[in-house]
Structure 1
């Protein structure tokens, strides 16, 4: 593989990485027992007392790592779907894939009585892929998938699945329903290294696959006919992109629950910062990690699950995005 990177993109990525690192240090400092940056750095280098090292390395660092990893996964998924649909509204949240992954996870939790990460991950992946298949078939028209139809069908399927999820919670006992409802809010609480390592391993494999299809996926933005003229297997690449995007969404849903709007906002923020078009994977990943980590810091201070914060901020962003799109087309 080969590629080029613009100077502005490199500078923006560097600045985002520094801001992300500083935000991570702040997140490690905050909590019931507040620490100074010096104490945090001492703990990270193994020069602090055992109590401080346990507080930083065993309790807070896994949470920060989860926020960064999940932010990266959601941002890359959003970048993939916005490229496929050629629309800033194309994201797992809008297309219904996040809702489908949540439905699969609920099915595992409620019908099989399992809360193990592996089982929920498989359920999320199955639900997300099944939803993607339904949306893909409904959007297929005259030999190809129409981006606009993909968004419209995704919104409709997401609404149906939301109703199904609500109905499922009505037919189970109260304790299980409360567990599913709390998990559905999206939270980074009570997560440790034993859940982090499987997520990191799976994410690394998926990101390598995304890098392999990044170039042909960019060519698809020129249109199906132009991509075919360049020798791109259009439906193969599109299908692989859908599977990879759903896989990234399912990994996050299985680990922390459905986190909304990060996949929608991060790619667009990255494009505006870098003034780039097409796939901007690295800046988008850094923005996604920063947005989710900063949202988690706010959530901890306010006492809310991080999903509540991202929904609140994302709703404002979606309103602004729709208004700006309307003004641009008018």
Structure 2
């Protein structure tokens, strides 16, 4: 494999020269820095709480050299939460990058379009009708997210695909589903309504390995698909005509990407409930830091992991010993970001 090093990019080519990957130097450095920061916040979270664990003991536990009590606190109690924050943040960032890319709009996010609301509706129906088992709730969330995506896609499709129309239709469908969710909670029994309301805020407070392991298995498969589709995603940003000329089947590719983005979103909702604004903010923040022409999956995922891990740490420590749902923190931060984004877009136009 040969390596070419232009001024601002590194190109890795196979020995025969038939395959190459161009990696922007600044983009790679930004992704690496974001991942390092996310991991650093995660390590700090592992040692922080009612039982404080020194950094050296945290590292020893992660390396399998901790004592029994440290292993219990770090590996059994806190590590699943940190891993879920990293994984779900990356998944939400990737979902946001996918929808913002195919809609060519910074507002094209699953929490704006309504896919996470649909996933919550599916999980809520399961909670009300059959109880609060994790696997059943997760399955309901996945089905709800996909059903919402089908409805939005069909309503938005008129002699072709238009990103702005998808956003407008998605906002309308999300509003209707939010009303349905409110009615379902008000109509449910008190204990069921309390459980559903707590889940709706998006929380990592009660998660464990039972949630982390299935989520990790699903996300590994989704990331493999995302890696295979990343080049086609960027070609779609050139426009349908240019992408078709380069051999991309635009209709089929866009449908696969929508399914992939919904799967990322629904997996996150299934594991921790709907967590707003991470998918909206992560791709644009990463794009501005790396100064790339468009959003990228790697940058958005790294920024999403940092945002959710830092937000969860803040949710744990701001009012300690009371722990807030992480969704409360992301909504607060995301609201400020959304106002800034709207002002910026208005000034450009």
Shorter-chain TM-score tier: over 0.9
Which residue is equivalent to 2:208? 192
> Residues 328 and 236 from structure 1, CA distance in 2 versus in 1: closer, same or farther, beyond 3 angstroms?
same
Q: Is the 8 A contact 2:284 2:295 kept in 1?
A: no
**Structure 2 matches for 1:168-179, cutoff 5 A?**
168-179=184-195
**Structure 2 matches for 1:208-227, cutoff 5 A?**
208-227=224-243
Mapped partners of 1:94, 1:163: distance in 2: 15
Picking from 67, 79, 91, the partner of 1:61 is: 79
Mapped partners of 1:285, 1:305: distance in 2: 21
Mapped partners of 2:280, 2:252: distance in 1: 24
Mapped partners of 1:101, 1:194: distance in 2: 20
TM superposition shift of 1:105: 0.6
Which residue is equivalent to 2:279? 263
Which residue is equivalent to 1:244? 260
Which residue is equivalent to 1:328? 348
Q: Is the 8 A contact 2:35 2:305 kept in 1?
A: no
Which residue is equivalent to 2:338? 318
User: Alignment length, in residue pairs?
Assistant: 327
Which residue is equivalent to 2:166? 150
Q: Is the 8 A contact 1:214 1:279 kept in 2?
A: no
Structure 1 residue ranges without an equivalent (≥5): none
Picking from 140, 146, 169, the partner of 2:157 is: 140
Structure 2 residue ranges without an equivalent (≥5): 1-18
Mapped partners of 1:93, 1:22: distance in 2: 27
Q: Is the 8 A contact 1:95 1:154 kept in 2?
A: yes
Mapped partners of 1:57, 1:76: distance in 2: 27
Q: TM-score, normalised by structure 1?
A: 0.96
Mapped partners of 2:268, 2:292: distance in 1: 27
TM superposition shift of 1:3: 2.0
Which residue is equivalent to 2:10? none
Mapped partners of 1:242, 1:130: distance in 2: 12
> Residues 116 and 3 from structure 1, CA distance in 2 versus in 1: closer, same or farther, beyond 3 angstroms?
farther
**Structure 2 matches for 1:40-59, cutoff 5 A?**
40-59=58-77
TM superposition shift of 1:38: 1.4
**Structure 2 matches for 1:1-330, cutoff 5 A?**
2-113=20-131, 115-141=132-158, 143-301=159-317, 302=319, 303-329=323-349
Q: Alignment partner of 1:324: what SS? A: helix
Q: CA RMSD in A?
A: 1.2
Q: Alignment partner of 2:45: what SS? A: helix
Mapped partners of 1:2, 1:118: distance in 2: 41
